[in-house]
Chains A and B, each alone.
Chain A
Amino acid sequence: MDTNNPTTVSGLLRFITAGSVDDGKSTLIGRLLFDSKTLHEDQLSAIQASSRKRGMQSVDLSLLTDGLSAEREQGITIDVAYRYFSTPSRKFIVGDSPGHIQYTRNMVTAASTADVAVILVDAENGVKTQTRRHLYLAHWVGVSRVVFAVNKMDTIGHNQTTFELIRDSLINLAREIGYEAVDVIPVSALHGDNVVNRGENMPWYRGNTLLEYLEQVPGAHDSSNQIFRFSVQRVLRVNRDNVQKFSAFENIDCRGYQGLVLSGQVAVGDRIVVSHNGSEARVQRILLSNKRFGQAAISGQSVTIFLANDIDVSRGYTFSNPDQPMSVARDLDAALCWFDENPFDRSKTYLMKYGSDLMRVKVKEIQYRVDVNSLERLDAENRLAMNDIARIQLRSQRDIAFDKFAVNRETGVFILIDEINNHTVAAGTIQ
């Protein structure tokens, strides 16, 4: 463990920035990098040259993240760009995600690994359609916390009353979508107020700056639920033909299970149940990534588990706490987001990747679609096209051990793959 870090928040925070097209997402990231002194001189001189080439008066910080030539050409963000910065207390991975509806799949790609969504709102325009859509998608994909940055406060004269009106409508909207507590921060990404530095333009605001918020907010694994789940990626079978030289395992034949602790924790001596067949066993040893045996492993750790007795375990199986087993069924309710340009085809079966398991599924019924702009339910009309979000029923080729997304966001998710072209055509959460 990192002894320099006595706090309980994890050392790494992943967040995305989202929001409407012109709300200044990329500028905000540029500001975070610039004011936290992460931006390097050659990057700055490159975007200075680029800004001049485009006839701009000042440096356009958004050029930092718009990395594709098509993006710079069109002045929009097509796909997520990842940026990295750190402060003395934490490391950050930032996903700058696209705002246009046609790039929804890239926005949810970015959001799916984020602990926090920073959603920008233009102080002049307040809540817009995209604000609602991004908030909905962040919640849909499982981002546990949201902070709103009400940007361009300079354009409304840093007015407190206007800010408070926007703040209240955002809090209401977030509650409607499922976020009980959200933070709202008035900022100016252009001038830097309340991003890293407090600035002098909004003395009435006493809350955290955006960076202070990000340094203190718990990460996903800090608050993940305590139900133990371990996904078996690989069966380790050590023998003299495949053992690494000089390892402590020379001359020892054994079998272990390599995988990721998805949630909760496990300790030597614990009983586990194999979700796919109900077999139970005791954890004999936990091999950590430092090649030493440990007492316990927690969510987010890649480890190898050795069991005290031989039971049937393959890739795709999940170890669980016997007191909190997974559910088993062939028919599942799910929320689905369709990504592919080819619409859903009722006559096809799709491959479902769930944890490290892979199986064929059919979509039995589309119950309704959701208008992500208005949040209203639409008739299913028996179709799913690109960017549609729908409530569906799935049937699997065999029994599947699962958790509902509302219970466990680590084990309640899956993707669908079209076997004809191997496209990732959809993502889903089990309802």
Chain B
Amino acid sequence: MNKLVDNLNNLDDVRPSSLSHLESLESESIHILREVASECENPALLFSGGKDSAVVLHLALKAFYPERLPFSLLHVDTEHNYPEVIQYRDAVVSRNELKLIVASVGDSIKKGRVHLRAENEPRNKHQTVTLLDAIEEYGFDVCIGGARRDEEKARAKERIFSFRDEFGQWDPKNQRPELWNLYNARVFPGENIRVFPISNWTEEDVWEYIKREDIQLPSIYFSHQRAVVKRNSLLVPITDLTPARDGEVIEDMFVRFRTVGDITCTAPVASNARSIDEIIFETKTTRITERGATRLDDQTSEASMELRKKEGYF
């Protein structure tokens, strides 16, 4: 320990008297992550390269600091990715010496576990099969995810430690009571708990934290020029998977992504925000929610997310 005193001359002199909202949220998330690591046999941290999973990973690295992460990362890969996101994912993994498992929807298709109705259809909902197969193959008892309650109304109802039965099903009418900071992480073999350490964070909190902690993100989160068409009040990026339809006018616009997912169902928003400060300003003043502005698959019915979660989705 004396060597530490020599090595580290960076004592914080501040005696705190109360916690800011970000400090409270961070502390709660770290407490949750430490509970998972202590109570569960074989957790996996779901990592897509998106901003929410980047924040959860950052919190996990802090929670166990200076120890390395005591569990692996799992990417349920739609294979409908922007290359910047995969480059980012791999850079993060190598920089932090993490163990990454990639379970791809493409493999599930090859194995006949997933059947496509159209070749380039969105693969978001198909991730459920790939995820559940990976959970079974690797024997994960817990999957740690970056979902937030402010994203969507079914998520707003979900526990921080969310129990899934052997079919991966969420039973929203019969959730385990979850009191104080006492979490029940117990499962039998084959069952699984989804743990959401940033349940109580908002989109704005995530951005403020990314700024405070200087967390690196894929470049497509920041304003860049991209070929898009306007379709149903959303901007649809033009890619090999998502060509323009007859009669649509392709425009080169300055856009950024508020959320990163399957190319075929994630839309960017018009934006000139190149810095985190500019993004925070836009987040504070936007009149449209994160999913409302960006997801092409959540609005099909009032209960799409609830239905997917009941089937085993994240």
Give the interface of A toward B (CB within 8 A).
1-2, 5, 8-12, 40-43, 46, 50, 64-65, 67-70, 72, 78-84, 86, 90-91, 93, 105-106, 108-109, 112-113, 141-142, 221-222, 233-234, 236-238, 242-245, 247-249, 251-252, 254, 258-260, 267, 284-285, 287-298, 300-302, 304, 306, 315, 339, 351, 353-356, 410, 413-415, 417, 422-424, 427
Instruction: Pick 20 A–B contacts, CB within 8 A, sort by A.
Output: A1-B14, A1-B16, A1-B18, A9-B18, A82-B156, A106-B177, A109-B159, A244-B67, A252-B1, A258-B63, A259-B34, A289-B27, A291-B65, A292-B8, A295-B13, A304-B65, A339-B177, A417-B184, A424-B176, A427-B179
Query: Contact between B19 and A247 (Cβ–Cβ < 8 Å)?
Result: no
Chain B residue with Cβ nearest A418:
B186
B178 at the interface (CB under 8 A from A): yes
Residues of B within 8 A of A267 (CB): 15
Query: Contact between A422 and B188 (Cβ–Cβ < 8 Å)?
Result: yes
Complex CA–CA separation, A338 to B4 (angstroms) = 49
Complex CA–CA separation, A410 to B31 (angstroms) = 14
Residues of A within 8 A of B180 (CB): 112-113, 142, 410, 413
CB distance from B31 to the nearest CB of A (A): 5
Complex CA–CA separation, A3 to B243 (angstroms) = 50
Interface centre among B26, B64, B184 (most CB of A within 10 A): B184
**Contacts A244-B67, A244-B68 hold; do A108 and B17 have CB atoms under 8 A apart?**
no
Task: Give me 14 other A-B pairs in contact (C-beta within 8 A), A243-B68, A295-B12 excluded.
Answer: A1-B17, A10-B21, A11-B23, A43-B289, A83-B156, A84-B202, A237-B67, A243-B67, A247-B66, A252-B4, A290-B12, A415-B182, A417-B184, A422-B184
B20 at the interface (CB under 8 A from A): yes
Query: Contact between A424 and B184 (Cβ–Cβ < 8 Å)?
Result: yes
Query: Contact between A296 and B15 (Cβ–Cβ < 8 Å)?
Result: yes
Complex CA–CA separation, A262 to B3 (angstroms) = 30
Q: Which of B120-128, B146-154, B257-265, B268-276 contacts A (4 or more CB under 8 A)?
A: B146-154
**Contacts A244-B65, A413-B182 hold; do A68 and B306 have CB atoms under 8 A apart?**
yes
Complex CA–CA separation, A132 to B205 (angstroms) = 36
Query: Contact between B175 and A79 (Cβ–Cβ < 8 Å)?
Result: yes
Query: Contact between B181 and A260 (Cβ–Cβ < 8 Å)?
Result: yes
Pick the contact of A302: B63, B154, B178 (CB < 8 A): B63
CB distance from A292 to the nearest CB of B (A): 5
Query: Contact between B14 and A40 (Cβ–Cβ < 8 Å)?
Result: no
Contact string, B288-314, partner A, CB cutoff 8 A, digits 1/0? Answer: 110011000001001100100000000
Chain B residue with Cβ nearest A104:
B177
Query: Contact between B12 and A302 (Cβ–Cβ < 8 Å)?
Result: no
Say whether chain A's binding surface is mostly helix, strand, loop, or mixed. mixed
B232 at the interface (CB under 8 A from A): no
**Contacts A11-B19, A415-B184 hold; do A254 and B1 have CB atoms under 8 A apart?**
yes
Residues of A within 8 A of B97 (CB): 244-245
B61 at the interface (CB under 8 A from A): yes
Interface centre among A79, A142, A237, A267 (most CB of B within 10 A): A79
Interface centre among A46, A301, A302, A414 (most CB of B within 10 A): A302
Chain B residue with Cβ nearest A239:
B67
Complex CA–CA separation, A288 to B26 (angstroms) = 11
CB distance from A157 to the nearest CB of B (A): 36
Interface centre among A69, A297, A339 (most CB of B within 10 A): A69
Pick the contact of B289: A40, A287, A355 (CB < 8 A): A40
Query: Contact between A300 and B27 (Cβ–Cβ < 8 Å)?
Result: yes
Chain B residue with Cβ nearest A297:
B16
Query: Contact between A40 and B286 (Cβ–Cβ < 8 Å)?
Result: yes
Pick the contact of A69: B18, B67, B306 (CB < 8 A): B306
Query: Contact between B14 and A295 (Cβ–Cβ < 8 Å)?
Result: yes
Residues of B within 8 A of A46 (CB): 299, 302
CB distance from B231 to the nearest CB of A (A): 16
Docked complex: B31-55 residues within 8 A CB-CB of A = 31, 34-35, 37-38
Chain A residue with Cβ nearest B159:
A109
Complex CA–CA separation, A222 to B17 (angstroms) = 9
Query: Contact between A42 and B289 (Cβ–Cβ < 8 Å)?
Result: yes
Contact string, B211-224, partner A, CB cutoff 8 A, digits 1/0? Answer: 00000000000000
